[in-house]
Every structure is written in C-alpha cells, then in structure tokens.
Amino acid sequence: MIKKVAAIVLVMIASLLVCGCTTSNTASPTAAGTAYPAAGTRSALLGAIIAQVDAGNGNRYANDEYTMTWLNDTAIAMHEQASFSGAESETYNATFIQFPTVTAASVYFNSKEPGYTQKAVSDSDAYLYALAAGGNATVIKGVRTVSVDGSTINQLEQFDALIIQSTRVNADLNQA
C-alpha cells in the first residue's frame, strides 16, 4: 500500500515538474517595469521599449526601416520610414522621455498641451507601453494636431511617467 501511495506521489511531482518546464513565453520580451533609473544607468523601461520594437511589437508596419537612438539615460529617439505600394511613404519620428514621477511628466504634458488642437491617444503606443512596463498605464493623456491636408500629424502622449512626442508625415512621391 505504501509503495502505491509513493508511486502516485512521484507521478504527481513528476507531472508538476514537466508542466512547469514546458511553458514558454514567445510573445514578447520581458517587461521592465517603470522604476526611474539611478544616475548613470539607462532606463529599463526605455530599454524594454526598444526590445519590444525590435520584436515587432511597436513598429507600425511589417516592412519598415527604423532606428532607435539613446539621447541620454532617460530619453530615446525613434525614426521610422515605411514605403507602400505606389509612391506613397510615411516617416515617423518620436522622442520617448521617462520622467522621475507621473507628476513631473504631467507638468511637462500640461505645459505643451496648449499647442495641440485635438484629444487623441495612439492605441499602438498604449500597447507598446503596456508590453514594456508590464501593465497598462494609470495616467493616459494624448493630444495632436493634424495639418490642413492631413499629411502631417504632431502628437503628444503621456503614459504614467513616460512622454511620447511624435511627428508622422505621409508623402505621395508622385506629387510635385
């Protein structure tokens, strides 16, 4: 009887170990959290944003070219260029800045907001933040202006202590 119980326990333990070893996370890189970095250390949040873009989670198009450049330990610049069928193209330039606190980011956002005309938040930027931070932001704000012809969009967004300031330009290369 004791041998049967021991065998059942061993089978249960083995099955639990196998279950734990066979799980995988291939969806995206690990989230970094949102802690502000110590002096002289690069932001883990911004590093995670770069990793997410590299994994294809933050770039807007499957066949685009992009660069991510560290400006300092708490800011990165993204340049993205996409070409479509025909002669149409889009250029996206953004600066991602991590502030020490949500309040500091809000002060910055509120100081820039009067220069924009519409309320708007990019779903792809919210998704990128959630992947990099490991959860959705609690403070989400967004404003933008669109040129008269619709070819240029300037946008300012806040996701907790992260500010994203971007410009998107659509061009038809057939126009002279």
Residue 15 lies in a domain: no
Euclidean distance between the first and the last CA atom of the chain, given in angstroms as a whole number: 89
Residue 6 lies in a domain: no
- Count structural domains, the chain: 1
Residue 24 lies in a domain: no
We report the CATH number of the domain holding residue 42 as 3.40.1000
The two structure tokens encoding residue 46: 């911004």
Q: Label residue 174 by pLDDT band (50, 70, 90).
A: low
More confident: 18 or 134 = 134
Give me the mean pLDDT over the 14-24 stretch: 35
**In terms of pTM, does the model score above 0.95?**
no
Residue 117 lies in a domain: yes
48-88: pLDDT as tens digits: 998 888 887 655 555 567 889 999 999 999 998 887 766 67
How many CA within 13 A on the CB side of residue 84?
A: 11
142-171: pLDDT as tens digits: 999 999 888 899 999 999 999 999 999 987
- Predicted local distance difference test score (pLDDT) of residue 158: 95
Residue 55 lies in a domain: yes
Domain of 40 in residue numbering reads as: 31-172
Residue 13 lies in a domain: no
The two structure tokens encoding residue 174: 């057939």
Cβ atoms of residues 73 and 37 within 8 Å: yes
Residue 141 lies in a domain: yes
Supply the mean pLDDT for the chain. Answer: 79
3-state secondary structure of 115: helix
Residue 159, strand partner residues: 140, 162
